[in-house]
Amino acid sequence: MDTLYLKYRPQKFEEIMWQDHVKKLFMNAIRSGKIAHSYLFSGPRGTGKTSVARIFAKSLNCENRVDGYEPCNVCESCKEIDAERSLDVIEMDAASNRGIDEIRAIRDRVVYLPSKSKYKIYIIDEVHMLTREAFNALLKTLEEPPESTIFILATTEIQKVPETVISRCQVLDFRRIPSINIRSKLETVCKNEGINYEIEALDHISSEAAGGMRDALSLLEEIARFSNNYITLSGTLSILGEGSTRMIESYVSSILEGNVDTLSTTIEMIEEEGVDLINFLENVVELASSRINDNGLTKIGKFAIDLIQLLKYEEKQFAFFKVMSIFEALKYKKDSNQFEKIEKVQPVNYEIKTVKSDVERLVDFYSKSGDLAIFSTLMQSDIKDRGDTILVISYVPIHNEILKSKAEQISEEFKSITSREVKFIFASSEIPLDKIEDDVREPIIKILSLFGGKVLPEGGEEVG
Ligand SMILES: [Zn+2]
């Protein structure tokens, strides 16, 4: 839903909000013809980085520049750039083209002169997402840039850009746009679009957007669509409340980036807002199914579906949601010791059982292979490796059911991981084993590992 954003995207420097230092620098550079070979734009999303990059590119190649620095927006070159069909202005999103091949393709192409314009300009957005190899290839190009080639790199996370790349670039910081400025832009847009509004609603949208114009306009558009063209504060609050788009997107993207810190913050927000978790996850599934070509998102969609099933049987829903989400995020984080990390983020009152080494390898396998049902039930069960048999005692009846239904799969996978052929016994207990006295516990375990079954509290009766 970026119609408004695209429609009101700035077309010249004059329309860029709040980045006066950036505007001034480019106006002077263009007027004096002193253009650097590579720029790095750093700042939060929606603050105008790619808009400025495009305006700058248009202006450099414009056939009839206005006032010495503004693009005319009507000449052939300006129109081609706007339509994204210019051969001399190449935009690339590093979030989806992270690899060395794309950068090599650029490196191979930069030796050719611009096809018909003065400059050949490469705009690489979210440059921090490039792989290390791709960065190295890029660096080579930045070190010996061809005369008429300009690189504009943009990032929301400059700390992830190698120092060697930063030092080759002129770095420009983009600031968050104050919400008062965002609000006045939203007012203008509403008036133009014939949308009625309560000013308090626009205030709320502006502060939700956290300094990003793009988010502000997307939110405005979303809310207008649901509000029958009259945006009220209460309507805005109810739309932005449960499972709001931004929370979902932040949840999904922090998992895909393996960013546990952002994920934890998002999860805290979800908790504070009292969001219904099942509802929230259903929205995640919906988001995933609306973008089926996005591989990462499809995986998160599957994860959300599994998690919804499991949450239905969980008493400590929130703690479970948190642990599972962080585990999922760790899968996307390279070189991390998952079990070490989980202990740090483990919420209070949520016990992660310790497991033995072969068993630990099995659990680790499931955490990576993605069978969430097996993984989470094993994590919450007591597992006793007794040589010939492995006894898995579950404390939640449905866990026992899940494990029994997957028994064959589990023993086969255990065999292929450890080369050990053992018999798995799945038992359940209504009493935590560590609450049972020592001299009784051992015989119980022995009996369970021979016959399976269920441990009931004294006086309890197995109902069949
Ligand atoms: Zn032009």
In the reported structure, the alpha carbon of residue 46 is separated from the centroid of ligand 1 by a whole-number distance in angstroms of 25
Q: Between vectors from CA 166 to CA 164 and to CA 167, what angle results, nearest 5°?
A: 65
What is the distance between the alpha carbons of residues 136 and 145, in angstroms, rounded to a whole number?
14
The half-sphere exposure of 415 on its side-chain side, counting CA atoms within 13 A, is 12
In the reported structure, the alpha carbon of residue 81 is separated from the centroid of ligand 1 by a whole-number distance in angstroms of 9
In the reported structure, the alpha carbon of residue 8 is separated from the centroid of ligand 1 by a whole-number distance in angstroms of 19
> What's the 3-state SS for 173-193?
ECCCCCHHHHHHHHHHHHHHH
- Tokens matching residue 131: 């792989």
Domain boundaries, the chain: 3-173, 179-240, 244-349, 353-464
Give, as one character, the DSSP assignment of residue 136.
Answer: H
Give the helix/strand (H/E) hosting 228: none
Phi, psi dihedral angles at 44 (to 5 degrees): -60, 165
In the reported structure, the alpha carbon of residue 78 is separated from the centroid of ligand 1 by a whole-number distance in angstroms of 4
- The pLDDT, as a whole number, for residue 69 is 92
Helices (H), 419-461: 438-451
Among the listed ranges 106-110, 164-168, 194-198, 242-246, which one has the minimum average pLDDT value? 242-246
Looking at the chain, the whole-number percentage of residues with pLDDT higher than 90 is: 18
Tokens 């979800």 sit at which residue? 270
Across the chain, mean pLDDT equals 81
Reported confidence tier of residue 193, pLDDT bands at 50, 70, 90: very high
List, in sequence order, every residue forming a beta bridge with 415; answer none if it has no partner: none
Complex ipTM tops 0.90: yes
CA 20 from centroid of its chain's CA atoms: 31
In the reported structure, the alpha carbon of residue 88 is separated from the centroid of ligand 1 by a whole-number distance in angstroms of 14
In the reported structure, the alpha carbon of residue 75 is separated from the centroid of ligand 1 by a whole-number distance in angstroms of 4
Pairing of strands 170-173, 149-155: unpaired
Distances (CA, A) of 430 to 318, 374, 385: 22, 20, 21
What is the distance between the alpha carbons of residues 338 and 65, in angstroms, rounded to a whole number?
56
pLDDT at 342 > cutoff 50 = no
- Tokens matching residue 417: 């991981």
- The pLDDT, as a whole number, for residue 385 is 83
Q: Which of 49, 31, 48, 30 is nearest to 40 (CA)?
A: 49
In the reported structure, the alpha carbon of residue 13 is separated from the centroid of ligand 1 by a whole-number distance in angstroms of 13
Reported confidence tier of residue 316, pLDDT bands at 50, 70, 90: confident
pLDDT average, residue stretch 338-363:
54
In the reported structure, the alpha carbon of residue 153 is separated from the centroid of ligand 1 by a whole-number distance in angstroms of 23
pLDDT at 344 > cutoff 50 = no
Distances (CA, A) of 122 to 21, 75, 151, 220: 22, 20, 5, 31
Looking at the chain, the whole-number percentage of residues with pLDDT higher than 70 is: 85
- The pLDDT, as a whole number, for residue 220 is 92
Reported confidence tier of residue 334, pLDDT bands at 50, 70, 90: low
- For residue range 51-81, list pLDDT tens digits in order: 999 999 999 999 999 998 999 999 999 999 9
Reported confidence tier of residue 458, pLDDT bands at 50, 70, 90: low
- For residue range 89-136, list pLDDT tens digits in order: 988 888 777 677 777 777 777 667 777 788 999 999 999 988 888 888
pLDDT average, residue stretch 412-427:
88
Helices (H), 209-276: 213-226, 233-240, 245-256, 260-272
Q: Exposed, middle or buried by CB within 10 Å (0-12, 13-18, 19+), for 374?
A: buried
AA letter at 42: S
In the reported structure, the alpha carbon of residue 188 is separated from the centroid of ligand 1 by a whole-number distance in angstroms of 26
pLDDT at 338 > cutoff 50 = no
In the reported structure, the alpha carbon of residue 66 is separated from the centroid of ligand 1 by a whole-number distance in angstroms of 8
CATH superfamily for 3-173 is: P-loop containing nucleotide triphosphate hydrolases (3.40.50.300)
pLDDT at 349 > cutoff 70 = no
- The pLDDT, as a whole number, for residue 243 is 45
Give the helix/strand (H/E) hosting 7: helix 3-7
- 179-240 classified as CATH 3.90.76.10: no
Strands of 232-342 (E only): list them: none
In the reported structure, the alpha carbon of residue 60 is separated from the centroid of ligand 1 by a whole-number distance in angstroms of 9
Q: Which of 17, 50, 213, 71 is nearest to 127 (CA)?
A: 50
Tokens 């306009």 sit at which residue? 217
The listed range with the strongest mean pLDDT (93-107, 239-253, 310-324) is: 310-324
Phi, psi dihedral angles at 91 (to 5 degrees): -105, 140
- The pLDDT, as a whole number, for residue 192 is 93
pLDDT average, residue stretch 344-355:
43
Answer CATH for 353-464 from 3.40.1190.20, 3.30.300.180, 3.40.50.2000, 1.20.120.330: 3.30.300.180
What is the distance between the alpha carbons of residues 303 and 324, in angstroms, rounded to a whole number?
9
- Tokens matching residue 136: 């190295």
In the reported structure, the alpha carbon of residue 10 is separated from the centroid of ligand 1 by a whole-number distance in angstroms of 15
Helices (H), 89-227: 100-109, 132-143, 163-166, 179-193, 199-208, 213-226
